[in-house]
Each structure stands twice: as structure tokens, then as C-alpha cells.
Amino acid sequence: MPIHTRRHGRVQGGERDRTLERRCYARAGIPLYLLCDRELETVTLHSEPGSNDYRTVLSVTYGKSLLLPEPFGFELETADLI
């Protein structure tokens, strides 16, 4: 199962990663979209793609861990992103 990761910085068009691309990936059926957002200092996992967006969203601030679902099944440590 593919996972798409995107690292976002303080660049113009950051909103594109948070909305437009996310919705396009959901419509394409990409099962997981992981967004590391340096501007907001968050890591957000979008899962369960629907016809226009993801149904499930889990977000943590940098420094906290985020459990990635199967087939990955591990806890992503975000402390190194600080």
C-alpha cells in the first residue's frame, strides 16, 4: 500500500498541500496522506479516502508520536522535526 508524504515549509502555495492536493489524493484513492507542516509545527495523517476528501484525520504537534496504521503499523516519532 503506497503512502504519500509531503514536507511543507514556509513557501507560497502551502495551502495547496493542505487542501487541493489532499482532496486530489483522496479522489485518486491514495490510502494515506501524511503532511509534515513546518509552518504549523504539526504532523497530520489523512486516511480512509472518500469521493472528495479523507474521512479520518489525526494530527499531532511536533514532539509527539503518531501511530501509523497497517500495513506500516508503527509509531512515528516527530521529536526530530523540532
pLDDT at 82: 76
pLDDT (tens digit per residue) in 22-66: 999 999 999 999 999 888 899 999 999 999 999 999 999 999 999
When pLDDT is cut at 50, 70 and 90, the band that residue 17 belongs to is: confident
> Mind giving me the DSSP string for 10-61?
S-TTHHIIIIIHHHHHHHTT-SEEEEEETTTTEEEEEEEE-SSSEEEEEEEE
pLDDT band, residue 15 (cuts 50/70/90): confident
Torsions phi, psi for 19 (to 5 deg): -125, -65
pLDDT value at position 71? 81
pTM exceeds 0.85: no
